[in-house]
Amino acid sequence: MIRSSAFANKRYAILGLARSGMATLDALHASGAKLLAWDTREDLRMAASDKAIIADPLETDLSDYDAIVVSPGVPLNTHPIREKASDDGVPIIGDVELFAKARMSLPPHRVVGITGTNGKSTTTALIHHIIQSAALPTHMGGNIGLPILSQTPLPAGGIYVLELSSYQIDLTYSLDCDVAMLLNISPDHLDRYDSFDAYAAAKVRLFDMMGDGGVAIFGGGDEKTQLALRLMRADDRVQNIVDTSTIILEGQADWPSLQGPHNLQNAIAAVAAAEALGLHEHQWRPALQSFKGLPHRMERLAEASGVLFVNDSKATNPASTGPALGAYPKIHWIVGGLPKSDDLKECEPYFGNVVQAYTIGDAGPMFGELLAPHMPVDPCEMMLTAVQHAAANAKPGEVILLSPACASFDQFKDFEARGDCFRCAVNSVIEKDQIGTAAGGSIS
């Protein structure tokens, strides 16, 4: 884990003891900080009891604390901790801000920060893979599910690659990235922000923290990203600015885990970051081909009787599903869940690639009405039914794609559980028919 003398003898209250909260607890405790910790779950409170005072910060005088470290999952727009912190005069920060404060204690290194609405995890993992393939020391962390404070400090010359959500950036104030990247901005998480503009502004704050020696990379042609690019160009503080929407990169057919127009954009952004770090084409191009991708993100699960099954459960909004539909010419599309919008406009340019749609979840009836004028629709409601029907209809050379364009919380605890359900359904169909072999090995 990362320890720092910057935390010794300081007092922190930790609110939220899930993955990043526990990593924060361990790192601060090992650094000699004095801690108070709280979570609504009793088992997590018990797990923290040997390292912290267990008490609800809302019921504790925090006026002599150095900060309240809040999990990104805590909704600051509605949670009373914001008012409590204001009353006690204590800043609210997150684990990424603690990492920023610890950097002075670490061997000389560089940091790449990636944000955006869609594609963050794939781009983060791809940049990490390129750096790793070039035999440079690297860790990835942040929103990708690996708390950065739990990582072993890198030796001199190492590169930390951080996926950063808007929630994490909201809790960060001094992260000076050597390379900062904004992939794209589309409406999302609007339950946490007053408006789409406020959500976009949260993303762009990543660049506000940069020093003048950093490289700013903008990856999308959408309105908000291009506005941020124009504002950055008007600011003389950062001189090195890259607009990847103007870059052409050939060879995508050779990158099996990076199919679709969105993954081409991700690859271009990752290459721009690699070159900003001083890597060359002979280092990054082979890495694009060897990249295996991430679970639930255009993940090739299996091929049976010439039909490919692809798990894109992470596509939780239409803006991320649209390009997924552009990845293959003949798709049996499993779509639906808890909708984030009442339209599928971002998907419309790719409707011609869809052989048939299979709707599931709460959005099923609404999406069925939207899609019926454009393609055959099978109202399945449940995942297993959708997979069974799609498998019965698909012909060799076609693709069965789960790309829901929705959140998962109507039927599943998260997008991972939804993707795992799809995987199990695919296994069931293949085993029942006793056909096909998994792409690259078992899909269990």
Rg (CA), the chain: 23
Exposure string over 337-351, b if 16+ CB within 10 A, otherwise e: bbbbbeebebbeebb
Q: Position of tokens 């096909």?
A: 436
Can you read off the two tokens belonging to residue 159?
């590169």
Is 329 within 8 Å of 260 (Cβ atoms)?
no
Catalytic residue among 10, 189, 374, 389: 189
189 labelled catalytic: yes
CA within 13 Å, CB half, 271:
26
CB 181 within 8 Å of CB 241: no
Location of structure tokens 């992939």: 183
Residue of 29, 84, 120, 224 with catalytic role: 120
DSSP helix/strand/coil, 288? helix
Q: Has 120 been annotated as catalytic?
A: yes
Pick the catalytic residue from 118, 143, 311, 427: 143
Nearest alpha carbon to residue 430 among 304, 245, 285 = 304
Sign of CA dihedral 183, 188, 194, 196: positive
* Residues facing 336 on adjacent strands: 360
Quickly list H helices, 218-294: 223-233, 261-276, 281-290
Contact between residue 428 and residue 304 where contact means Cβ atoms under 8 Å apart: no
143 flagged as catalytic = yes
- 410-440 as b/e: b if 16+ CB within 10 A: bbbeebeebbbbbbebbbebbeeeeebebbe
Residues with a known catalytic role = 120, 143, 189
